[in-house]
Structure 1
Amino acid sequence: MNFSVHVPFYRSTTWPFTTLQARQIMALSISLMFVRNSWLPRNTAPVGQTFKVHAFRPVVTTVQKTRIHATSSTSLILPITLWNKIPLAQSQQGVRNADRLHKLYSSSATSEQGQQQPERSDNLSQSSKTNSTNTDGNSIEIPLYLAEGLLAVHKPLNWTSQDMVSYIRGMLERDARNRGAQVTPMRSRRNKARKVKVGHGGTLDPLATGVLVIGVGHGTKQLNDYLSGSKAYRATGKLGMETSTLDLDPSGTVVKEAPWEHVTREALEDVLPMFRGTIEQVPPLYSAKRVNGKKLYEVARSGNVDENLVIESKQVEIYSLDLVSVEELPHFTIDMECGGGTFVRSLIRDVAYELDSVATTIFLQRTKQGPFVLEDCLAKDDLTAETIYAQIDEWNTKLAQLKADAR
């Protein structure tokens, strides 16, 4: 089986399949995929037993290691039965994909000799594949995802956690469609197996930033571990006033004011130990806590808050709580690590109550969630299908190693 690289008006070169050339071909194919900022140009179509990809800008003629650099208009032809099984990833993964291509070629060669083709061993689940048919009526597989698992993103200010989920889902849906996969919109009740599934591992307030664990595909099934798992935060409170939202959300109003001038660093350090360990905490009115089947923030924003509404306290775990700074009182900053379900805004409020004052959270950042820390997070501006799948691949390896080390 040969792979042909055609350069119109220049030359046509046929490469026999070898490991080295497979790597070069994969790098070439990946370069072509990004010619129009998409994985697969819209006018790509199967032609017999080949899959033809046209490039409309100068692309490649010279090879340097596994990267091929552009100098002329080029098109690429690969056997369709192999092309649609290749889990294309970003250009820096060309070598890895070439190795996968080599395995697929070996499997196909074995199958052609009358033996059963072995099952794929990559991280694509059966539910993440969609089928289409080429011109000869043969069924081919087009993956809905290029990788499934977990990654962490840095949630920006004024974005809800669900905003981030929707943003990433839309990005991956467009990528899947560009590669030819059939995608069912999330609101549709049909073909659930063809929906791009994305979720998060614990809500961050709109005014909070930091680590947000995202699950893609079967990674969404792992998110419960992060909802209930440990998290770390850095928060800054402002003494002297308390708002209805316990932060600076524009929808909130100042509901309490109290003196703060008597508060010192020593006083803060004296009360913090009271909040370490297992404590009772009343969730904020503006929170995702459910009461009578409704989320509290929905009740609060509706303006129909029952005067007799009782928000019951709950037990939470505070593993560590340290004072970072009080250099600019009435502001003070703390670092804390806690279990799932802890409200940092409530903690800031309760610390102030113990100091005979009131306080509101003016800065909140999640610095860690499980093994994910801020340095591991993808910024919103860096999010692409390419970087998302690269992070998932990387974390699949890291998490597997952490699991093995824990045994």
Structure 2
Amino acid sequence: MGSSGVARLQGLFAVYKPPGLKWLHLRETVELQLLKGLNAGKPRAPEQRVRFLLGPVEGSEEKKLTLTATSVPTLTTHRLMRGPAFTSLKIGVGHRLDVQASGVLVLGVGHGCRLLTYMYHAHLTKDYTVRGLLGKATDDFCEDGRLVEKTIYGHVTREKLDRILAVIQGSHQKALVTYSNLDLKSQEAYEMAVQGTIRPMNKSPMLITGIRCLYFAPPEFLIEVQCMHETQQQLRKLVHEIGLELKTTAVCMQVRRTRDGLFTLDDALLRTQWNLHSIQDAIQTAAPRVAAELERNLRWGNQQLPCTGQPHNSKGPISTLEVESHSGH
């Protein structure tokens, strides 16, 4: 189990992070469960060494002692003396989720930590479902924040919401082209647009590649957001700004990530599956998909696979309705 078990742990896998749990605590829990599984295997037999032990001569009635070559275990390598064979693992966390958010969280073990960096440089999009509540505003854009204002929302319709979402998507698509540094008249730009692989070349504000309403029953509504370089707080602010555009107010009730790159909810391991065998199987299943996806997305723009670096999260809220005004920065 020792070396073979660790070898099957080299790669990426996804877990489902519940709300209220810090990503750091989740990572520590996963590491603890993996170490528990690795150390639970049958230990190797202790090494043997030859010792000359003093004892009576066999078959002799005389009380004479002699040295006899005897094989005895080396206690320095015994499990009870040495302790657990595995005490730590290199586990990295990809695009993080804050305490209140839930959904797909990608982790890397061993050389999978380097793959997390490759995922960042590939600028893969992520999907979220964001639940909003019309009629009130809070200081932190969350439903349980300090109440700032209450407003009426009877005039809000599904058509008005869809119109606002279309405006948001249009402005962000223009910003996406700007940050990609592409010549719109080139063949490369045309091919990338057809394949849907237009990505920003460097850091950028949050960019929304798609947004639509999934459910509308005032005061509640549910939207699906496809984006990159986002934080969950920026998505909550997006709900607030949508409320303002609708001539009312709105707060965010839930932020749930349903996809991170090639990993979806179907790939995410539940809490009861955070064990050695389930994670090993998840890594082995995802490995060919990870290689194909990274190669496809890193090929455009003649990017080279990076060797160092850490996964990046865009920080600092920026108005999601005003991305176009930042495109010249």
Superposition deviation, residue 277 in structure 1: 4.9
Larger Rg: 2
Contact in 1 for aligned 2:17/2:26 (Cα 8 Å) = yes
**TM-score, length of structure 2 as denominator length:** 0.61
Which among 31, 34, 50 is matched to residue 169 of structure 1? 31
> In the comparison of the two structures, how many residue pairs are matched?
223
Whichever structure has more helix as a proportion of its residues is: 2
1:212-243 deviation line (CA, Å, top 9, x unaligned) = 11111121122234455310011110011122
What CA distance in whole angstroms lies between the structure 1 residues aligned with 2:13 and 2:158? 38
Q: Which has the higher contact order (CA 8 A, sep 6+)?
A: 2
Task: Indicate how the Cα distance of structure 1 residues 392 and 239 shifts in structure 2: closer, same or farther if over 3 A, else same.
Answer: same
Residue by residue over 1:187-229, the C-alpha shift from the partner in whole angstroms, topping out at 9 and shown as x without a partner, is xxxxxxxx31112211223232211111111211222344553
The answer to whether the aligner puts 1:337 opposite 2:215 as a matched pair is no
User: What's 1:316 paired with?
Assistant: 206
1:375-397 CA-to-partner distances (Å, cap 9, x unmatched) read: 11111122211101110111113
2:45 corresponds to 1:156: no
1:230 corresponds to which of 102, 125, 130: 125
Contact in 2 for aligned 1:276/1:317 (Cα 8 Å): no
In structure 2, relative to structure 1, the CA distance for the partners of 1:226 and 1:259 (3 Å cut) is farther
Deviations 1:332-377 (A, max 9, x none): 1111100122421111111111112111111221111101111111
Supply the AA of the counterpart residue of 1:399.
V
**Residue of structure 2 in register with 1:75 after alignment:** none
Q: Runs of 5+ in structure 1 lacking a partner?
A: 1-38, 40-83, 89-142, 185-194, 280-313
Please tell me whether the aligned partners of residues 37 and 275 of structure 2 are also in contact (alpha carbons under 8 angstroms). no
Find 1:260's aligned residue among 135, 149, 153. 153
Structure 2 SS opposite 1:223: helix
2:9 to 147, 154, 157: 147
Q: TM-score, normalised by structure 1?
A: 0.50
For structure 2, the residue ranges without an aligned partner over 5 or more in a row are 44-83, 173-203, 300-329
Deviation at 1:165, TM superposition (A): 1.1
Q: How does 1:340-359 map to 2 (within 5 A)?
A: 340-342=229-231, 343-359=234-250
1:389 to 258, 273, 280: 280
C-alpha distance in structure 2 between counterparts of 1:267 and 1:396, whole Å: 44
Deviation at 1:405, TM superposition (A): 6.5
- Root-mean-square deviation (CA, aligned residues, Å) is 2.5
Q: Percent identity?
A: 28
Cα offset for 1:278? 5.3
Secondary structure of 2:21's counterpart equals coil
Asked if 2 retains the 8 angstrom alpha-carbon contact of 1:202 and 1:226, the reply is: no
